[in-house]
Structure 1
Amino acid sequence: MDLPQGFHSQGENLVDRLVKSLYGLKQQSQHDHSLFTKHSKQGTVIILVYVDDMLIAGDSLEQILETKTALQNAFKMKDLGELKYFLGIEFARSSKGITMHKRKYALELTSEAGLAASKPANTPIDINVKLTSRQYDETIKDKVYIEEDPLTDQSGYHRLIRKLLYLTVTRPDISFAVQTLSQFLQDPKKSHMDVALRIMRYIKKQPGQGLLLSSKFRNEITEFCDADWASCPITRRFVTGFMIKFGDSLVSWKSKK
């Protein structure tokens, strides 16, 4: 890129810092370095890259086709057409909008856990359960804590929690339960594995549940937040959760201690 007319460099070994984006110049997102955008008078094109997979979107079909042609001239690539499957996420279109779900992933995970013939659960976790690194004996009046033996196969618990974490990308309804179980990766017990399997039985009830990106445009951001004071029985820290909606579409959420 050449310097604009009338601008003189202060030295040969210096570079110029771009403060504002220029039309036609691709920009790398500061929040996600695999996300690129290009703004022009004809429209905006957004490119998301993950290893050898690429997702192209924009508000101008002409600009999208032009971008595809430019990429095909520079790299060997295969055009798979309209988006239906990307990084384990399935996309379904309707008059209501675009639904993102992981039905195939959820069914495979349920089968892998050996719960294909199990009875589905109505909730991911019992609200009265307070998981700790120890469990108490309810037969004793003062609820004396007793030590639980660790799981024999701790690696199995680790794998299951990792896969459940990936499932939360389209299932915010299990975020709280999964973040709770993630706190016991270092020394999981049988009680923790029982709750993890309950989450799987809950997923089995509706494996295709996901997120709807509404086709109705409403330029409004709505936020919901809640906190449960000192609810963690181990550290007495509070657990907070939030969700952010753009129009009728859920775009961000989190559950965190």
Structure 2
Amino acid sequence: MVVTLVYVDDMLVTRSNLGLIEHTKAILHKAFKIKDLGELKFFLGMEFSRSAKGILMNQRKYALEIISNLGLGNAKPAWTPLEANIKLAIQELDCLTGESDNEQFKDKEQYQSKRSNKLNVYSDVDWAACPNTRRSVSGFLVKHSETLLSWKSKKQSVFSRSSAEAEYRSMANVVSDLVWIDALLKELRNEV
């Protein structure tokens, strides 16, 4: 099996067998105009590097672009640039992230070569945390063994009347993501 990830005009082709990858690229090249960029180094704002321990993934370049776009390239780094537990209004968040639905980015993650079938899921919600709308802010992450697979942090789309309701909404988001990941992992295991 060869796994192909397509996002708009970017494509990632992977498999443990290099011959299958080359065969797949040849088939794709006959049907489409493609440019082979070689071994994976950058994909969708993420940077990849390999070692004997696994694959190191980070978004250093993306973070530096955000810093540059905000005109903070010459700013001195600080261990904690904001007060602890500060709550930003939506206008301040938009200014910092450039988007209103703030999707968190992961700084670094080491993808281990070892195999495990264990999924770990973590979820939390801050009830009525947005000072403008009083909507809750929820977040979750899904790990496969020690490898981070999925993560998200965003303002909930509707107002929750209680912290329990906000927790249920957050859990529903996690479960829908988890169902998709579980189905994908089962499909990949059957083909490997």
Q: TM-score, normalized by length of structure 2?
A: 0.64
> What does residue 114 of structure 1 align with?
71
8 Å Cα contact 1:45/1:58 also seen in 2: yes
> What does residue 88 of structure 2 align with?
131
> What does residue 88 of structure 1 align with?
45
**CA-based RMSD:** 3.1
Specify the SS of the correspondent of 1:78.
Answer: coil
> What does residue 77 of structure 1 align with?
34
Residue identity in the other structure for 1:45: V
8 Å Cα contact 2:54/2:111 also seen in 1: yes
Structure 2, unaligned stretches of length 5 or more? 156-192
Residue identity in the other structure for 1:220: K
Specify the SS of the correspondent of 2:12.
Answer: strand
Specify the SS of the correspondent of 2:99.
Answer: helix
Equivalent residue for 1:250, pick from 114, 126, 148: 148
> What does residue 219 of structure 1 align with?
117
Residue identity in the other structure for 1:87: L
Tell me if 1:162 matches 2:99.
yes
Matches within 5 A, 1:9-158: 44-123=1-80, 125-132=82-89, 157=95
Shift of 1:254: 1.9
* Structure of higher CA gyration radius: 1
Shift of 1:82: 1.0
Q: Structure 1 runs of 4+ off > 6 angstroms? A: none
Residue identity in the other structure for 1:254: K
In 2, Cα distance between the equivalents of 1:79 and 1:232? 45
8 Å Cα contact 1:97/1:215 also seen in 2: yes
Specify the SS of the correspondent of 2:66.
Answer: helix
The alpha-carbon distance between structure 1 residues 106 and 228, as it changes in their structure 2 partners (threshold 3 A), is: closer
Shift of 1:246: 0.4
The alpha-carbon distance between structure 1 residues 106 and 218, as it changes in their structure 2 partners (threshold 3 A), is: same
What are the Cα deviations for residues 157-213 of structure 1, in whole angstroms up to 9, with x where unaligned? 38x5239957x34x2xxxxxxxxxxxxxxxxxxxxxxxxxxxxxxxxxxxxx32222
Shift of 1:237: 4.2
Structure 1, unaligned stretches of length 5 or more? 1-43, 134-149, 172-208
Specify the SS of the correspondent of 1:241.
Answer: strand
Shift of 1:100: 1.8
Bigger fraction of residues in helix: 2
8 Å Cα contact 2:126/2:136 also seen in 1: yes
Aligned length, in residue pairs: 154
Residue identity in the other structure for 2:117: N
8 Å Cα contact 1:47/1:56 also seen in 2: yes
